[in-house]
Structures are given as structure tokens and as C-alpha cells.
């Protein structure tokens, strides 16, 4: 018997990254993530997604990981102008000046948060005291683009110097790292 998935993913069949999209939905989306390096990776990827489709990001994810030193925030925080120009020439990633600069700025801010809290994981999951928020959605149309939690996290991240962390990006981020579970009730991948 075929497993049921959230219905908004079924439209992805038209994209060439359908398999990557399904793998992401089935194994990563709304699944708790606690590894700091992966929490940074998702923050960069979600920021890169602003204005483009998640399918495009998934299609380029391997290129992003290679270009950004596997999203090691300690390495990215040290990027200089030469590395920035190298990234601007990399056709395998989104070559947006503001987004690339934000990845570096965010790596530096990320390291400060790690130093203050002991880990970024403790910081980000602290907003829910380590709890997962499950909305028990019945249909995709009920899924918000942002909520009070994403607005609160966004405001705090901005105060700490992060860029490309508006409430909508952060809502998608907290879904991506599993703080929010928005798999539809009937989805076998909840």
C-alpha cells in the first residue's frame, strides 16, 4: 500500500526535483533537528529561498553545501571579499549579493549565539522549551505563512544581527527544523 503524503507535495510531480522534494518531505521536513551545523545550513537555505521556489533550493542544495564549506559556520564566518567574489561566480548556487552576504553575517551572529547559549540548538529550541508545536492541520490551506512564534523568533534574530530572517522565512525554518510539525493529519510521514 502506498503511503499518504501531504497533498501540497503531489503538485511537485511537474518539477524535475520531484524525488528530492519527496525525500525532503518524508525524511527532513518537520523532523526535529538538533545538530548546530545543520541548523545553520537550514537557516542559510531558507534565506536563499526568499523569492524563489523550495524546489530550486533542493535542486541546488548539494552545490550550496560544497560552495559554503558544508555550512560550517566557523569557516563561513571567515569569508573575505575574494571568497565572496568566488561565490558570486558560482552558477551552481543562487548568486544574490544580499543573500550571500547574509550567509556570512549570519555565520558570525550564529557563533555569538553559540557562545552565549552553549549551542544554537539550546537557543532556537528554547523558544518552545524543547517542545514540538503540532498544528494537526487537516488541509494545506490551513497552514499559516507566519505566526506569533515566528514573529518573536524573527525579532530576536534581527536584534542579534541576523539577516534574511523575516517572520515568513522563520516560519518555514521552524518547520524545516521540526519545531513546528505541519504535516497534515492523514500524512504517514508525521
Active-site option among 24, 40, 79, 173? 24
Question: Does the active-site annotation cover 46?
Answer: yes
For residues 157 and 152, give the distance between their C-alpha atoms in angstroms, rounded to a whole number: 9
Question: Does the active-site annotation cover 148?
Answer: no
Active-site option among 29, 40, 46, 79? 46
Handedness of CA 92, 97, 99, 105 (dihedral sign): positive
Q: Is 52 helix (H, G, I), strand (E, B) or coil?
A: coil
CB 160 within 8 A of CB 109: yes
Question: Does the active-site annotation cover 54?
Answer: yes
- Among 104, 117, 120, residue whose Cα is nearest residue 161: 104
Active-site option among 29, 40, 54, 173? 54
Residues annotated as part of the active site: 24, 46, 54
Amino acid at each position: 500500500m502506498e503511503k499518504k503524503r501531504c497533498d501540497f507535495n503531489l503538485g511537485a510531480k511537474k518539477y524535475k526535483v520531484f524525488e528530492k522534494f519527496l525525500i525532503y518531505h518524508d525524511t527532513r521536513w518537520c523532523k526535529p533537528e538538533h545538530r548546530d551545523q545543520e541548523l545553520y545550513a537550514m537557516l542559510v537555505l531558507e534565506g536563499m529561498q526568499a523569492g524563489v521556489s523550495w524546489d530550486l533550493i533542493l535542486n541546488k542544495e548539494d552545490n550550496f553545501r560544497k560552495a559554503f564549506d558544508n555550512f560550517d559556520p566557523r569557516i563561513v564566518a571567515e569569508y573575505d571579499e575574494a571568497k565572496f567574489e568566488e561565490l558570486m561566480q558560482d552558477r551552481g548556487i543562487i548568486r544574490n549579493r544580499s543573500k550571500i552576504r547574509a550567509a556570512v553575517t549570519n555565520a558570525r551572529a550564529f557563533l555569538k549565539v553559540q557562545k552565549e547559549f552553549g549551542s544554537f540548538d539550546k537557543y532556537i529550541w528554547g523558544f518552545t522549551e524543547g517542545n514540538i508545536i503540532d498544528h494537526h492541520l487537516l488541509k494545506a490551506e490551513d497552514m499559516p505563512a507566519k505566526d506569533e512564534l515566528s514573529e518573536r523568533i524573527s525579532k530576536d534574530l534581527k536584534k542579534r544581527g541576523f539577516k534574511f530572517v523575516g517572520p515568513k522565512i522563520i516560519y518555514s525554518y521552524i518547520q524545516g527544523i521540526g519545531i513546528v510539525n505541519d504535516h497534515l493529519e492523514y500524512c504517514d510521514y508525521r
